[in-house]
Amino acid sequence: MAAGLMLVVVMLLSLFLQYHWKRRHLYKLSMKLPGPPALPIVGNGLSFLCRHEDILAVISSLTEKYARPVRFWLGPHLFLYFSYAEHLEKILSSTKMAHKHDIYSFVKIYLGEGLITSSGEKHKKHRKLIQPLLNAKFASRHMETFQKHINILMEKLSASCDKGTFDIHDMIHLCFADIIGESLLGMQMKSQYGQNLDYVHASADVYTVGYKRLMRPWYHPDLIYNFTSGKKDQSRIVDISYNFIKNYVIKALYRIRTSKNDGTDIRAPLVDQIADLINKDNSIMNENNFIYHMYTIYLASEDTMTIITAVLCMCFGMYPEYQKIAAEEVRSICGETSGSISYDDFSKLSYLDMCIRDVLRLIPIAPIIARQPTEDFVIDDLVIPKNCGIVISLFEVHRDPKHWENPNHFHPDHFLPEAVRTRHPFAFVPFSAGPRSCVGKVLAMFGLKLIMVNILQQFEIEGDGKFPDIVLSCDITVRSLSGYNVRLKKRMWKK
């Protein structure tokens, strides 16, 4: 009995030592770099056990207390934290750094091997197929679809005119759910009329539920997480969203297989265009990958455009001097009537473009990105081993006073041509950059401009305070915890 117990102890001790011996290069690197003291097992995970509104302050405090790059531990994972434009350029431009960190496995529960979470040859191959489909032609061909749903939003916003302060987020959210649902999935969502809200709400919950688990190392083991309320939320979200998207993927594959047309209609939704590629060569992607790619693109498109639009409305209310310039530009190019813009006019809206970009600076789509080098990688004189985590902060580089005149305020002049020319190109990377840049950035900029043209043509926006007064939270993206509060008045153009 005693001998058997001793053997078990020796075996466990041997495994323990073997595990740590394989990780000795991580420990050696960790001791070389500045960073907060870490506890056994959880590392620095307890530091992130805080309110949503405090998470950005916790992250920023790392660079205030320690020289960069900073190291910290999240459970057994060692991360190096970078927030200089020069470092971002090296990391984001390298194919060695294109691999998502293993910690994204918790996001894969929702998004599978989609474009955000997949890596390697599969990601490269599927991205090469999908990105060319989400181009300027796709945007222009679906302009009528966008405008149709924006018209409904305009009616709903009109009903809120002169009725005091309200949160504009939910109305915009449902509008983009309808837009993305039709242009990507070929579905009449009718969210603005109260339909399919279980799917819309489940999709919104992905960010908060998934992020909560990701940032708490003690929730990482399934053995623990399966007994929490988070597991129930996770199962609900996965069940609703996966089956919803699967339904439209199967319909698209059936439509393409039974269609007598050569190729898809030029105004076909994205799901039909991908289905057409699969129909011609079913080896390029299986049905499961197809489902997760569509859900990933839907989720990223709808959420991004919703938040940026809502925050830009707030900024125009808080900084009326910029709203006035943008509105006059819209009037001079697109006229005073909602829906009167042509696709060719978009390139002329230079000031509105500057305004959108400064909100993307303040509210980056992915404020923090985690990568894992596929082989040893050198930055400056630092050799980073292949299984070490890399964290880059777009949120901080977008506020670095070295690059930005007024970093904490909405300030469209940041994007005047002369300012852009003299700034480091990686000081502003709202859609990431390099081999993992956002495939939907063309569609996103189109949708943002179109909805803001309509809003500025019809409404004068009022707001209180300035941008630093907004309480920001960080999950997978950045959000306002203090709401998206504005007041609207019917715009009366001066003759």
Q: Report pLDDT digits (tens) over 165-207.
A: 999 999 999 999 999 999 999 999 999 999 999 999 999 898 8
Give CA angle at 55 (37, 484), nearest 5°: 175
Cα 52–chain centre separation = 17
Are 70 and 63 a contacting pair, CB within 8 Å? yes
283, with CB counted inside 10 A (0-12, 13-18, 19+), is exposed
Structure tokens at 344: 């060719």
Count CB atoms within 10 A of the CB of residue 136.
Answer: 14
User: What band does 261 get if pLDDT is binned at 50, 70 and 90?
Assistant: low
Q: Are 456 and 488 contacting, i.e. CB atoms less than 8 angstroms apart? A: no
Q: Is the peptide bond before 37 cis (omega within 30 degrees of 0)?
A: no
What single-letter DSSP state applies at residue 39?
Answer: B
Host H or E run for residue 137: helix 136-141
Torsion angles phi and psi, residue 33, rounded to 5:
-105, 150
H/E run at residue 389: strand 389-393
Q: Higher confidence at residue 233 or residue 260?
A: 233
Q: What is the pLDDT of residue 368?
A: 87
438 is in an annotated binding site: yes
At residue 495, the pLDDT reads 67
- Tokens representing 158 are 């009109």
Indicate whether 264 pLDDT > 60: no
DSSP one-letter code for 470: S
* Bridge partners, 73 (sequence order): 78
Give the whole-angstrom CA distance, residue 147 versus residue 143: 6
Contact 89, 273 (CB under 8 A): no
In the prediction, which pLDDT does 365 show? 84
Give the number of other Cβ atoms within 10 Å of residue 161's Cβ: 14
Band (pLDDT 50/70/90 cuts) for residue 215 is: confident
Enter the tokens of residue 466: 């300035």
CA dist., res. 110 & res. 96, Å (int): 26
**Confidence (pTM):** 0.91
Q: How far, in Å, CA of 136 to CA of 163, rounded?
A: 38
